[in-house]
Amino acid sequence: MIRTLLSMLEKRRYLTICITILYYLLVVLPHEQVGLWISTLFSSVSRASYNAIILVCFLALSLFLLLDLVKQIQTIKQALYVLLQGIIIWACFYYLIIVNIESIHFVQYFVLTMLLFTITKDIPSTLILVLFGALIDEGYQYFYLSPERTNYFDFNDIILDLVGAGSATLSLGVYGNNSTALQSRKYAYMAIAATAGFFAILYILNVWQVYASENHNFWVLIRQPEEGFWSFLNFDVVYHVIRPLEALVILVILFLFYTSFEWKTKAT
């Protein structure tokens, strides 16, 4: 199924570019409207029931994709990568997700990655674009959409976005559409280094800050830091808020993991 859709999109490159741009805008822009719609839809059920319904929906979708994927797995290496990805997703639910509706990040960026890959036909370049897209998405929410309601730049969501993208890259690898050439990876790493250097210069020039201070400006990543490793919501929800340095380390590890496999399967 996925292979057929990819093949169809690759044959219609300009249409795919338009679809990808429109899809990304629909993911980013209507956050407030979608949140209100979901709240209204589930207003008659308890928080526990709401979480259970979303979790069941996510597991059902994951099982559907996994069953289609398992048919294509041919080596122990492929199975191991899929297993590790499952562990990563579990860790995201345990450490990072506050309410299960946040699992929509996995789905949104899975689809975005598939669309972008049909344009770039290269995993590292696709993941770089996904990462920039995720940063813009969260920046839009934090600095513009609801700056008065958020205490920190949400690196948790960016991790979820990249994990969703990673699920797509694993699927592409299993389906035989993976491209992780060394030259491609080199340019991707150069892009990451250049971006890191750019933000480092802005930090030195005091254009942005990690923690708020008395003379802080608009570009502050953490307005009010969380105390301790765990954060609590209504005494029954426990989660961890990813700090900037943690986010940098985790994102680099995930990027290396998702660009580390180079396998071939049946010809398309």
What does the pLDDT look like over 117-169, one tens digit per residue?
989 888 888 999 999 999 999 999 998 888 777 888 999 999 999 999 999 99
Note the pLDDT of residue 266: 43
pLDDT band at 216 (very low <50, low <70, confident <90, very high): low
Residue 203 has pLDDT above 60, yes or no: yes
Structure tokens at 106: 């996995």
Q: Is the pLDDT of residue 236 over 80?
A: no
- Average pLDDT, stretch 235-248? 87
Beta-bridge partners for 222:
152, 211
In percent, the amount of the chain with pLDDT more than 70 equals: 90
Backbone angles phi, psi at 240, to 5 degrees: -115, 135
Phi, psi of 219 (to 5 degrees): -90, 75
The whole-angstrom distance between residue 108's C-alpha and the CA centroid of its chain comes to: 8
Segment 23-45, tens digit of pLDDT: 999 999 998 888 888 888 888 88
Predicted pLDDT of residue 32: 81
Structure token pair of residue 78? 């492929």
CA distance 176 to 264: 5
What does the alpha-carbon distance between residue 257 and residue 85 come to, in Å, rounded to a whole number? Answer: 10
Q: What's the CA gap between 200 and 20, in Å, rounded?
A: 31
What are residue 230's DSSP bridge partners?
A: 240
Spatial neighbors of 117 by CB under 8 A, at least 6 apart, are 6, 123, 126, 168, 169, 172, 177
Determine how β-strand 209-211 pairs with β-strand 220-222: parallel
Cα separation, 84 vs 247, whole angstroms: 19
The closest alpha carbon to 209, from 219, 199, 197, belongs to: 219
Whole-number Å distance between alpha carbons of 43 and 208 = 39
Q: What is the DSSP letter of 152?
A: B
Cα–Cα dist 245/155, whole Å? 10
Tens digit of each residue's pLDDT (9 = 90 or more) over 90-122: 999 999 999 999 999 999 999 999 999 989 888
245 pLDDT band, cuts 50/70/90, is confident
What share of residues in the chain are helix, strand, coil (percent, to 5)? 70, 5, 25
Residue in the block written with tokens 């370049």: 125
- The C-alpha atoms of residue 89 and residue 74 are separated, in whole angstroms, by 22
